Amino acid sequence: MEFKKLLEPGRIGQMELRNRMVMPGMGTNLAAADGTVSDVIVNYYARRANGGVGLIITEVCCPDPLGRVIPGEIEATTNKFMPGLSRIPHAVHSGGAKVCLQLAHGGCFASEGVTGERPLTPSGVGTMQLPGENPRVMTIEQIKHLIDQYGQAAKRAKDCGFDAVELHGAHGYMPLQFLSAYTNKRQDEYGGSLENRARFALETIRCIKEYTGEDFPLIYRLSAYEDVPDGVTPEEACAFAKMAQEAGADAIHVSAGTWDSRLEKYNKVMAGEESAEGKDLSQGVATSMWVPPNYTPRGSLAYLAAAVKKAVDIPVIAVCSIPPEMGEEILERNQADFISMGRQTIADPDYPNKIKAGRADTIRRCLRCNECLGEVMRNCGISCAVNPEAGKEYEGFTKVEPAETPKKVAVIGAGPAGMEAAQIAVKRGHNVTLFEKNSELGGALYYVSLPDFKLDYKDYTEYMIRETKAVVKDIRTDTEVTADLINGEAFDIAIVATGAETFIPGIPGAEKGGILDPLKVLDGREKTGNRVIVCGAGLVGCEVAMVLAEQGKDVTMVDMLPTAAPELAIYTKWVLDAKLAELGVKVKVNHKITEMTDQHIICDCQGETYTYEGDSVICALGLKPNRTLVDELREKCGKTEIIPVGDVNKPRKIMQATHEGFHAARRI
């Protein structure tokens, strides 16, 4: 596919951009604890500028100390932050991109635990996600002061060399808290009608322009749909976009949602009080409305950008899980002027350069697993499941350098850990042989990419297989590795990535056989009846349950844990829960299985006994490391260094497998 539109130069106000690809603001938690710019965050942005993107919009930067949301958030509250802030434009400009500082005040999301003071809000309305907070109602004087703080922060951004600022009026940040009747209950000139609720944002736009000059570009990030009671509707958003343009905004960056979006609906559905039907919960709940996981269709918010574009004459930026192919089509249909690709920029900073070079098939595709968001929400620095360098750019421990002494390396197992290790080892100059017992590469990725709702994983799996075959010249499939083979070919290193396998615990009745393997069910090797019991509500159990429910089968899922898929980041988990509910999967938690056969299970739940019968029983109660070969090689291959990576150490996620494979090959 050609990407003519994405590669076209563009303009926002007086700012010229080399292409139509934008990196939107995404929290990283990479700033220093005092709000100053760190070496890590400078290198993070520099790496993405070198990758070819046209515009980088930084993560949130608070204009007022009471607006901080996360501990590692950069500030522009006083001049003392300017020396550090000025490092970011130098870094980004060196890579040929333009850079925009995103100004964001958290309002009720700026918790006392982060700022040390009770949050300031338009009306004292908090958020369901921070129920312990006690927000204050802003006075007129405080409103005017904050507007001026935005203006001063924007002036600092301009003086530091930024090419533009973005006023964050989406996702529940302060301008949206004023714009939305959900959070704005004021009875003065800042509340009531749409014009009054828009006043804070419009006065802030004008104030920024007064401080920076009319020729300094200002982008407004807008939630064009909230899906909360009395929240912003697409119609109101389009009307507001016109007002923002008249006030001086140079572009509208169209997103959706706030921290409470669909959360009340979700809670009622999970409590069994209401049906999930018609509530769009699997389209995103709270943060996952604008950072949707792989269970949500790609480009789910693009229609909002198209609506806003019809309402304004300034450029519109579309965002939300838009792959390059879809982005090109959106631009061709004139439904937006620029395309933001956020998590894709984390997964592969070089994707714009690859598009420019006609190598889009070599883009390392984002999984939309939201491990990046999960790390930030845990107050850790950002990481990526498929890019071990993300958030650690130019650190010594992520450098892939030529090996001093090339070695003969066997990589055993072609799952995510094995393929990553093989690629990195080849790049370092080692002589690599990749062994796989199956007829094709992929390992666990093969299974996780099978469901229709795992298209992102399928794309990534195909990418990994292509990249591995392109660089590893000696690939041996249908090969069972033994100690004799390793000794016979005199390998210096054996990286063992044999993964994990499904196991059936010692539950009475299980020994009789007939219980199905979830992985074999996913790939069709084992068939189920119409009534299916899935034992285990981890991620594997949930996904096989969804696949079967989509086929119209009656599915009951049972687990002793108090919730399904506890290992998922919370915003991804909410969407998974919603999809299970929409598909009618019956989830039985706090159920300890005491007996299981191929057609029934018996459980204990808080002292009560329950029996569930079906045509088929699937055991998805976990995986166990496949360590037989590791032990054999360590016993018999004394001249070979044995390095186990991935699930062979402990069954976990793709992120741990990828990172372990990367670092194992980087070290040898």
What domains can you pick out in the chain, each with its CATH number? 4-377 (3.20.20.70), 400-501+624-667 (3.40.50.720), 504-621 (3.50.50.60)
Cβ neighbours of residue 98 under 8 Å, at least 6 residues apart?
15, 16, 17, 54, 55, 56, 92, 163, 164
Cβ neighbours of residue 127 under 8 Å, at least 6 residues apart?
108, 109, 133, 172, 259, 260
Q: What's the pLDDT score for residue 62?
A: 95
- Using DSSP, state whether 255 is helix, strand or coil: strand
DSSP per position, 20-75: SEEE-------S-TTSPPPHHHHHHHHHHHHTT-SEEEEEEEESSGGG--STT-EE
| pLDDT grade for 239, boundaries at 50, 70 and 90 | very high
For 614-663, the pLDDT digits (tens) are 999 999 998 999 999 999 999 999 999 999 999 999 999 999 999 999 99
Alpha helix (H) residue ranges in 136-233: 140-159, 174-179, 194-197, 199-212
Average pLDDT over residues 212-234: 97
Q: How far apart are CA 111 and CA 379, in angstroms?
A: 13
Q: How far apart are CA 627 and CA 556, in angstroms?
A: 32
- Using DSSP, state whether 556 is helix, strand or coil: strand
**173 is a catalytic site residue:** yes
- Using DSSP, state whether 101 is helix, strand or coil: strand
- For residue 71, is pLDDT > 90? no
Scanning the structure block, which residue is given the tokens 């959900």?
Answer: 182
- For residue 178, is pLDDT > 90? yes
What percent of the chain shows pLDDT beyond 90? 92
| pLDDT grade for 95, boundaries at 50, 70 and 90 | very high
For 554-600, the pLDDT digits (tens) are 999 999 999 999 989 889 999 999 999 999 999 999 999 999 999 99
Q: What's the pLDDT score for residue 394?
A: 81
Is residue 565 within 8 A of residue 532, CB to CB? The reply is: no
- For residue 48, is pLDDT > 90? yes
For 518-561, the pLDDT digits (tens) are 999 999 999 999 999 999 999 999 999 999 999 999 999 999 99
Q: What's the pLDDT score for residue 397?
A: 86
- For residue 157, is pLDDT > 90? yes
Record the tokens describing residue 620, joined without a space: 């998805």
126 to each of 141, 207, 281, how far by Cα in Å?
21, 27, 22
The enclosing H or E element of 339 equals: strand 338-340
DSSP per position, 66-82: GG--STT-EE-SSGGGH
Q: What's the pLDDT score for residue 454?
A: 94
For 32-46, the pLDDT digits (tens) are 888 999 999 999 999
Q: What's the pLDDT score for residue 381?
A: 93
Q: Which of 173, 182, 225, 460 is catalytic?
A: 173
- For residue 111, is pLDDT > 90? no
- For residue 1, is pLDDT > 90? no
Record the tokens describing residue 643, joined without a space: 């390095």
Q: What Rg do the C-alpha atoms of the chain give, in angstroms?
A: 26
Q: What's the pLDDT score for residue 511?
A: 83
